[in-house]
A and B are shown apart, each in its own frame.
Chain A
Amino acid sequence: DTGVSQDPRHKITKRGQNVTFRCDPISEHNRLYWYRQTLGQGPEFLTYFQNEAQLEKSRLLSDRFSAERPKGSFSTLEIQRTEQGDSAMYLCASSPDFASTEAFFGQGTRLTVV
């Protein structure tokens, strides 16, 4: 198992464009999380899935953001009509559904909106 994989690692886009990020969790991990992290801050929770069901969304997740996990495996996070304030590191994590088990993080996708 190669761990949690995120693609792309870096993305530069013009304001107003749409972007999509992908996360491949560790196989058989049924929980998948998305976080956003800006410079000098801790990760901010965006949303999480249990299998294919999106169980919780943060108020940070505006209508321009959408996340999917269609078959309970990989997940995508789409941002429509990007704004400069969307510039951040987007982190994905996965875990088994046990409270005692840690979450495993990917390397993140660095988004820069110009």
Chain B
Amino acid sequence: AQSVTQLDSHVSVSEGTPVLLRCNYSSSYSPSLFWYVQHPNKGLQLLLKYTSAATLVKGINGFEAEFKKSETSFHLTKPSAHMSDAAEYFCVVRFYGGSQGNLIFGKGTKLSVKP
């Protein structure tokens, strides 16, 4: 069965320090992978996506993620956190076929940024 696991429900960093949000997936197929960000009381905004091209994907606001097939991971990173990065982040996997219209959500990671 396909699944997505975000390993941390809450990550806290200081402004200017690196950010690492972890995501692992389980799939029998090659998936497409996405990271979305959600600010309070807002919809979900796409940060970046992997669709079987380059394994290192760059997104908006300085975020990037690396697809590692051997580790079935798609961790999100940013070299230097900004206060405006404080939000909820969701790792989403899309498969051909499957359930839920083939979009599977992780449970989310709340990122806090301390001054």
A45-B103, A99-B94, A100-B94 known; A107 vs B51 contact (CB < 8 Å): no
Within 8 A of A (CB), among B73-113: 88, 90, 92, 94-96, 99-103, 105-108, 110
**What band does the interface of chain B fall in when counting residues whose beta carbon is under 8 Å from A?**
20 to 34
Q: What number of A residues sit within 8 Å (CB to CB) of B?
A: 27
Interchain CB contact under 8 A, B51 and A42: no
A106-B43, A107-B42 known; A100 vs B51 contact (CB < 8 Å): yes
What's the dominant secondary structure at chain B's contact region? mixed
Residue of B46, B96, B100 near A99 (CB, 8 A) is: B96
Given contacts A99-B102, A100-B51, A108-B42, 7 further A-B contacts (CB under 8 A): A48-B100, A99-B95, A99-B96, A102-B32, A103-B103, A105-B43, A105-B44
